[in-house]
Amino acid sequence: MSEPPCHDGDGGPREACGLVGIFGHPRAAERVFYGLFALQHRGQESAGIAVRSSRGLTGHTGMGLACDIFTAAALAGLEGDAAIGHVRYSTTGSSNLRNAQPLLVDYARGQLAVGHNGNLVNAALLRKELEASGSIFQTTTDSEIIIQLMARPFNGSFEEVVANVMRRIQGAYSLAMLTPDALIGVRDPRGFRPLSLGSLDGAWILSSETCAFDLIGAQFIRDIEPGEIVVIDKRGPRSVRFGPAVRPARCIFEYVYFARPDSTIWGRTCHTVRKQLGRQLAAEHPAKADLVVAVPDSGSSAALGFSEASGIPFEFAYIRNHYVGRTFIAPSQVDRDLKVRVKLNVMPAVVKDKRMVIVDDSIIRGTTTLGRIAELKRAGAREVHMRVSSPPTRFPCFYGVDFPSPDQLVAARMPISDIQRFLRADSLGYLSLEGMTAACGGGDGFCRACYDGVYPIPPEELVAKECMERQRSDAVQAPALPAGPDGKAARTPRRGNPVRPSFSTQPREQR
Ligand code: SF4
């Protein structure tokens, strides 16, 4: 699967969001802006910054990319010494300006800005409950539930209020919050999504990924722990735990695909992990070939690892067009092959008469991979052996990744032998679940539900991206999930009234 391009608005599964926060820097909003720039791959639909100044909290949000929203004039209006920023891809609630984050409110305790990465699995039930007791929602995001719960009467310090709210919500959430007094970072008890703490010239920084620290010259200090609230104010950071330790469920897909290769997530640099995935893949699925090539850019690290382990030379077979703007609209009659070639072009001089191994991180719908293999063959490749540096993606994600529905996941619809025939590949090999886990450091502290259908937190309801818009409509029975590798149906626990599943049913790029 090629990496989601910055400007063209299509691509495969999308991350729910990226977060940056800074406390104690005279140009806080500007630093946050650069941090968002580094995290743009985590969300391209909207972006926002909230800043603290002597006037209290103010903010600016917009639709599109951070670089388009935060002009010099917009940044000049965001003076202050503490700020949080957010880039969004919508996984709950529509993509519109009202849902752009950080959400900024005035409430009984003062002002509060919240940015959220992840998905709450009990969002629909909580919203129903809150509305029944008088809450009026301004957005259709699950993130606003956190604000509504913060506003409920509760006797205690600010930390105790936050901890109390965190005990009510369930699911995946890394949060950056800002008040007139403090910057707050939170990770859910299972730690699905990353969030790290850093420092810069005496200021404190939070970021979803360390690549943002690198860009703004900050030093990485440590990860925020699962189940930890870090409150940073003029006295510095202090830590609060809000629940008993539970088994972590870090999203393994961050390593496979989402996080930038130069980010260090949970102690490991993604490029290094991806190379190890490629080495493991070569051991599990060797091929007799002349060249190893990558689908740029997401397959590159794994292809290098495959090449190193197999001794087969790595080559560049594709040239990427970096100028495909989001304004590019394929003419309605254009054939799919042409659409694929707009972004990546094969070099026949490299592939002609060669036996090729092509490495990618995932196959989602399969149609883009079909196009890539057809291109290589058209350019003269003698054999094309497809290798995938993760197991077959068979199940949807309820924790902040927007996969297509199971009936669009090629591995949920057919066995691997049929996928190979469908792709017209000379051979096809997926990395095993065990091999992927070992390459990512081993242990049982990962969520791998999109591969094995074992959900660390059963969703209270099968929550649709649009569920907040549909709160008042009749409940809709969700379709059954596909069978797992053992032939049994995946766990689909349903409490309350099921609404539609949390995966998008909107058409995306055919993959
Ligand atoms: Fe990550 Fe997959 Fe788990 Fe979602 S289901 S959190 S994408 S590993």
Domains recognised in the chain with CATH numbers: 15-246 (3.60.20.10), 264-439 (3.40.50.2020)
- With beta carbons less than 8 A apart as the criterion, state whether 389 and 76 touch: no
Q: How many whole angstroms separate alpha carbon 50 and alpha carbon 58?
A: 6
How confident is the model at residue 340, as a pLDDT? 66
How many Å lie between the centroid of ligand 1 and the Cα of residue 486? 19
Exactly one of 17, 440, 447, 450 is catalytic; name it: 17
Note the pLDDT tens digit of each residue in 300-318: 999 999 999 999 999 999 9
Flag whether pLDDT at 498 surpasses 80: no
- With beta carbons less than 8 A apart as the criterion, state whether 216 and 34 touch: yes
Of ligand 1's listed atoms, the one at least distance from the Cα of 172 is 6
Note the pLDDT tens digit of each residue in 101-154: 999 999 989 999 999 999 999 999 999 999 999 999 999 899 999 999 999 999
Flag whether pLDDT at 16 surpasses 70: no
Tell me if residue 430 falls in helix, strand or coil.
strand
Note the pLDDT tens digit of each residue in 20-42: 999 999 999 999 999 999 999 99
Residue located via tokens 């074992």: 454
Q: Tell me how many degrees the CA angle 284-289-290 measures, rounded to the nearest 5.
A: 140
Nearest to 355 by CA among 319, 318, 310, 385: 385
How many Å lie between the centroid of ligand 1 and the Cα of residue 361? 14
How confident is the model at residue 56, as a pLDDT? 96
Residue partners of 141: CB distance under 8 A and separation at least 6 = 90, 92, 93, 99, 101, 103, 116, 468
| pLDDT confidence bin for 90, thresholds 50/70/90 | confident
Q: How many whole angstroms separate alpha carbon 237 and alpha carbon 344?
A: 46
How confident is the model at residue 297, as a pLDDT? 79
| Contact residues of ligand 1, CB 6 A cut-off | 192, 251-253, 397, 399, 401, 447-450
Of ligand 1's listed atoms, the one at least distance from the Cα of 448 is 8
Nearest CA owner, ligand 1 atom 2: 450
Of ligand 1's listed atoms, the one at least distance from the Cα of 251 is 1
Strands 268-269 and 264-265: antiparallel
Flag whether pLDDT at 333 surpasses 50: no
- With beta carbons less than 8 A apart as the criterion, state whether 419 and 366 touch: yes
- With beta carbons less than 8 A apart as the criterion, state whether 61 and 88 touch: no
Burial 300-325 (b: 16+ CB within 10 A, else e): bbbbbbbbebbebebbebbeeeeebe
Report which listed range, 286-290, 399-403, 471-475, is most confident. 286-290
How confident is the model at residue 460, as a pLDDT? 67
* Mutation to probe ligand 1, out of 173, 447, 448, 454 (largest number of atoms < 8 A from CB): 447
Flag whether pLDDT at 508 surpasses 80: no
For this structure, is 450 an active site residue?
no
Note the pLDDT tens digit of each residue in 42-87: 999 999 999 999 999 999 999 999 999 999 999 999 999 999 999 9
How confident is the model at residue 459, as a pLDDT? 75
How confident is the model at residue 12, as a pLDDT? 55
How confident is the model at residue 35, as a pLDDT? 98
How confident is the model at residue 502, as a pLDDT? 32
Q: Tell me how many degrees the CA angle 244-246-251 measures, rounded to the nearest 5.
A: 135
How many Å lie between the centroid of ligand 1 and the Cα of residue 352? 38
Nearest CA owner, ligand 1 atom 1: 251
Flag whether pLDDT at 471 surpasses 60: no
Tell me if residue 122 falls in helix, strand or coil.
coil
Nearest CA owner, ligand 1 atom 6: 251
pTM of this prediction?
A: 0.88
Nearest to 329 by CA among 63, 89, 10, 6: 10
Q: What is the mean pLDDT of the chain?
A: 86
